[in-house]
Amino acid sequence: MADLYLNGTQYSAVRLKLRQWLLFEKAQVNIKKLIENKQTDEYANALCLLVSNTLGAPLNQVQDAPWYDVVSAYGLINELNQVRGIPLTKQTGPPDSKEPEIPWEYSGREWYWWLHTLSKEYGWLPGQVEELDIDDAISLLQEILVDEQINREWQWSLTELAYPYNETTKKHVFKALKRPEWMRDQPQVILPGLKLKFPKFMIPVGRVIGEDENERLVS
């Protein structure tokens, strides 16, 4: 919790619980779109509305407050509502510009998706789910998704599709089910021109395939 002032009136900014946080995130997405489209009037109104809803402050008071009070209030609210580094939330690639639209999508579905997913798994009531801290909710969701993926991989490994025939080796080779991006190892970044020196006793002896994929003999 953090105290802040808008036009001389004190308010307390708090970390939002799951259901409120989902609305907050949706408003954030909307604000981002407005600024990308240079709809500055709508942007300012949307930001004031978000601050007003989050702090419980009257909208006209936020709209009339000095701009830097509103901006710093928004910054504080945003900081309080950050999600800690959970792999599931890490964006590894560029965002999909065109997310496929699904026919059963509707406004406000996010909450019902979370409620359904968590209550199905843990048998919780709506009141319990909506009061979850967002870090807890996302961590639990990650565990659910990991469980689902491991089960899927197990099922996959039992099917013939997982063992395609390799014409060259004349063998069936296991082909693992692809994991979602956040479950994969992070690729190691090798800086160009960076040479690492290892003590001689650590270097393998015999036929070695180097990083250039050429085979050479090391003695």
CA 11/CA 80 separation, integer angstroms: 14
**Whose CA is closest to 113, among 79, 85, 137?**
137
Phi and psi at residue 100, to the nearest 5°: -65, 135
For residue 12, give the 3-state DSSP assignment.
strand
Write down the least CB distance from residue 95 to other proteins, Å: 16
Q: 27 or 44: whose CB is closer to other proteins? A: 44
Q: 76 or 137: whose CB is closer to other proteins? A: 76
- DSSP letter at 162? G
CA 202/CA 197 separation, integer angstroms: 10
CA 112/CA 118 separation, integer angstroms: 10
CA 161/CA 150 separation, integer angstroms: 17
Write down the least CB distance from residue 139 to other proteins, Å: 31
Q: 82 or 151: whose CB is closer to other proteins? A: 82
Write down the least CB distance from residue 185 to other proteins, Å: 34
Write down the least CB distance from residue 58 to other proteins, Å: 14
Binding stretches for other proteins (CB under 8 A): 35-36, 38, 40-41, 43-45, 47-48, 63-68, 70-71
Q: 37 or 186: whose CB is closer to other proteins? A: 37
